[in-house]
Structure 1
Amino acid sequence: MLRLSLIALVVASLLAGCGKSSPDKKASPAAEAASAPSLLVAAEDVQTLGVSAYASGPVITGSIQPERRADLRAELQAIVLQVYKENGERVKRGDLLVRLDDTAIRDTVQSADESARAASQSFEQAERQYQRLKTLQAQGMSSIQAMEDAEIRRNNAQSDLVAARARVATARQQQQRTEVRAPFDGVVSDRKVSPGDSAQIGKELIKVMDPASMRFEGLVSADRMSELKLAQVVYFRVNGYPQVDFQGKVRRIAQAANANTRQVEVLVDFAGAQQPGVAGLYAEGRVQTNSVSALMVADGALVREGDKSFVWRVDAGKVSKTPVNLGARDDRQGLYVVTGGLKQGDRILRSPTSTLLDGQRVELSKAAAATAAPAMTSASGTPPTGLTNSGSTSTSAGSTVVPLPVLPVASAASAP
């Protein structure tokens, strides 16, 4: 009897142990969201979707180039003696940039000058001889033949003088070519030589550009050429200026497409005074040929997982992870066109954090950012891990409060 009682006790203990749930078993996502603390969300961190104007048109890509630029090359063969300007230095029209060796040319100039002086003296002597014989012939003291011979010698001497002066001008022109000067006001964009280099005829010496004459030299697919018109507005961005949206107008459209790329060259003038001061930067934008109304969402509100995009939609006091279909991007505003998944009037979080749970409860409060920030900020002034700052608000006392877009507050279930 005692043995049977012990066996029954053991069996009962085993059955009781099997009936207990495993402590390692995780709760379902819905249960986890339901048990999570409510989120206090500032009103400015919630966006209500509305219809916005979206500018559509062909994409244009290219680079920023100066309209006034000069590649200064050697016009004679010589050694580079000195380079006076470095890359980036400003120059005025007529400033000396590069000096070439003119030793041989100086000798040529001196020789031409001596020849010109000798020819001038010969001409003066022949002219005096001719005038004297002309006077004597008028008095009957000289023959006509002698006067004609003197006239021929005078004419030959005059021709020699003209030729000698031409040689002097040519030699001096060659000497001037040893001094390379700036053709206009601008900056040195590329120095190609150094002192001691041998400059052959046609060799690049230095490049000068006018930074105030920048323009966007872009390419558009020939398939969209029919949409292009002069004076159309172009919105584009330039590498190196990530936070600046540039605007321009189409000035010229090429009438022939590139045979290899099948693209059409389009020149765009900057519409305002603001323009990059560096040439060669890559630029990309869109020619505004049409404007339509569409739902738009900012890139900061999107959560990307592979090739899929989601937003956190606020509805009925909860947040839900909602898939969305995106269309083209408006480069001017940095917004995406929503083609599916959302409708006008939906509310979404502007800057969602990675700690959100699908179905988690939320509480909207206009004063949430101002009241919760001091309590949730550590002694060093740094918000707790996992929370992101959305900006700062100045208080009347002069201190700065950092509002937080999503702040957990204790729920009633978690209170002791």
Structure 2
Amino acid sequence: MHTRLYAAARRLSVTMGLLTLSCLLVQPSQAAEPTPIIAARADQRAWSTPLEALGTLRADESVTLSATVTEIVSAVNFSDNERVESGKLLIRLDDSEVQAELRAAQATRAERNNVLQRSTQLESRNLAPRADVEDNRARLQQIDAEIEAIRAQLADYHIRAPFDGVVGFRDISPGALVTPGMDLVTLDKLDTMKLDFSVPAVYLSALRQGLPLIATTASYPEARFEGQVTSLGTRVDPVTRTIAVRASLPNPELRLRPGMLMEVTLEREHRQALVLPEETLIASGNHQYVLTIDEANGNLVQRRQVTLGERRAGVVEITEGLVPGDLVVSHGVQQVREGERVSILGIDDGSIDISELLRRSRDTPPREGA
């Protein structure tokens, strides 16, 4: 009798315990604090399919000035890397002998001109034949031609800049003897650069004059030089099956130099694309997901599958799954789960460093979920 009463009491005690545990499990827990994150919006922006190549820079105009006569240098009128204007006298060779010939020819011209004037006056009075006047005029024209030839010869002694540009190193001094063909100084026009590169011929239909491009170089890792295609080669290389392309790059600060290697990205097939930062993506098998933020529902997080297009440095094209203006978790993806609510510390639009966004969030209360 006592045993049956004890067993019944034990069963009642276990039942009451189970009921109490069940009540505790079904009681609502205290709402968790929203997880702080940084968000990004899906933006429509200009997009293009890039075509990459390696190119070499050339000066827009380039020349190595040399002597055409054997003579001694009498003056050097430039310094290293000096910017000079077209027509500036750079090097003067000793032209004293030619100057003497010019003065003698000019004196002869003055004499023959006087003879012509006298014969013309006599002919007008019928005191000299017309033939004398014509002979004197011919002799004057002859000496004029000789003077012109001497002046042309004199130009060989004056080395001038044929165009605006920057001279190279000054490796010659007054008193040096120069000979025909001897290199004296280089001159390059650097305010605009030519960029030569080759592109596979299969892309020929996408190439045209005026096509924009971006060029970078290891010499200036953070700089992007913008230019455009100016001309295409007339032939396809039968060995490499590539076509030569020439582009023009403005160089107002003269940072670029001939011979530099450039990485070229041609911007072709322009279109509008929906773009997100790469850090918003969550890979799962062969699929990609993002965590969207429902602002109308208290910043509730939902997991959504997206389809990717092309990638660029730090950004990716979204072809399906989002619409312009959708808000997604950018930084803090690993700390957030679907169904949770978040507080937004800032919006990453690429114009402000993340550390700056975090600093600003400390000064401004975050936008918490409802």
TM-score category, normalised to shorter length: 0.5 to 0.7
Cα distance change on mapping 1:215 and 1:394 into 2, 3 Å: same
Cα deviations by residue, 1:222-245 (Å, 9 ceiling, x for unpaired): 343232122222122134221122
| Partner amino acid, structure 2, of 1:222 | A
CA deviation string 1:380-402 (max 9, x = no partner):
xxxxxxxxx9846658999xxxx
Q: Say which SS state the counterpart of residue 162 (structure 1) adopts.
A: helix
User: Helix, strand or coil: the match of 1:211?
Assistant: strand
Q: d(CA) in 1 for partners of 2:171 and 2:238?
A: 32
Query: What's the counterpart of residue 67 of structure 1?
Result: 60
Over the residues paired in the alignment, what is the CA RMSD in angstroms? Answer: 4.8
Most deviating of 208-217 and 80-89: 208-217
Contact in 1 for aligned 2:112/2:140 (Cα 8 Å): yes
Q: How big is each residue's C-alpha offset from its partner over 1:90-133, in whole Å with a ceiling of 9 and x where there is no partner? A: 2233332111121221222123223323333443444445445x
The offset of 1:158, in angstroms, is: 1.8
Secondary structure at 1:87's aligned position in 2? coil
The equivalent of 1:154 in structure 2 is 133
* Residues 157-199 of structure 1: per-residue CA shift (max 9 Å, x gap): 2211111122112212322332223344432245564434443
Q: Counterpart of 1:267?
A: 246
Q: Where in structure 2 are the equivalents of 1:159-170 lying within 5 Å?
A: 159-170=138-149
Q: Is this contact kept in 2: 1:61–1:219, CA < 8 A? A: yes
C-alpha change, 1:290 and 1:204, in structure 2 (3 Å) is: same
The reply to whether residue 247 of structure 1 matches residue 240 of structure 2 is: no
Q: Which runs of 5+ in 2 are unaligned?
A: 1-34, 282-288, 292-308, 346-352, 364-370
Describe the SS at the equivalent of 2:236: coil
Could you tell me whether the CA contact under 8 Å between 2:191 and 2:251 is conserved in 1?
A: no
C-alpha distance in structure 2 between counterparts of 1:265 and 1:173, whole Å: 40
Matching residue within 173, 190, 209 for 2:152: 173
Kept in 1: contact 2:37–2:329 (CA 8 A) = no
SS in 1 for 2:191: helix
How many angstroms apart in 2 are the aligned matches of 1:155 and 1:275? 62
Identity over aligned residues, as a percent?
Answer: 20
Shift of 1:266: 2.0
1:142-221 aligned at under 5 Å gives the runs 150-189=129-168, 191=170, 193-221=172-200
- 1:283-320 C-alpha deviation (Å, 9 max, x unpaired): 11222223697999879x9xxxxxxxxxxx999xxxxx
* SS of residue in 2 equivalent to 1:166: helix
CA distances 1:353-406 after superposition (whole Å, capped 9, x unpaired): xxxxxxxx97999899xxxxxxxxxxxxxxxxxxxx9846658999xxxxxxxx
In 2: Cα distance, 1:396 partner to 1:335 partner? 23
Helix, strand or coil for the counterpart of 1:195? coil
SS at match of 1:164: helix
Higher strand share: 2
Q: Aligned letter for 2:146? A: R
1:89 is aligned, of 82, 87, 91, to 82
Pair 1:87–1:266, CA change in 2 (3 A): farther
Pairing of 1:91-130 with structure 2 (within 5 A): 91-130=84-123
Q: How many residues align?
A: 285
Name the amino acid aligned to 1:165. D
CA contact (8 A) 1:222 1:262 kept: yes
Q: Distance in 1 between matches of 2:311 and 2:170?
A: 40
Deviation at 1:70, TM superposition (A): 4.5
Q: Secondary structure at the match of 1:58?
A: strand
Aligned with residue 278 of structure 1, among 248, 252, 256: 256
Kept after mapping to 1: 8 A contact 2:59/2:192: yes
Contact 1:67–1:213 under 8 Å retained in 2: yes
Is residue 43–residue 276 contact of structure 2 (8 Å, CA) maintained in 1?
A: yes
Give the Å deviation of 1:347.
Answer: 8.6
Q: Cα gap change, 1:83/1:296 in structure 2, threshold over 3 Å: closer, same or farther?
A: farther
> Would the alpha carbon gap of residues 126 and 183 (structure 1) be closer, same or farther in structure 2, given more than 3 Å must change?
same
TM-score between both structures, scaled by the size of structure 2: 0.58
Answering whether residue 268 of structure 2 is matched by residue 289 of structure 1, we say yes
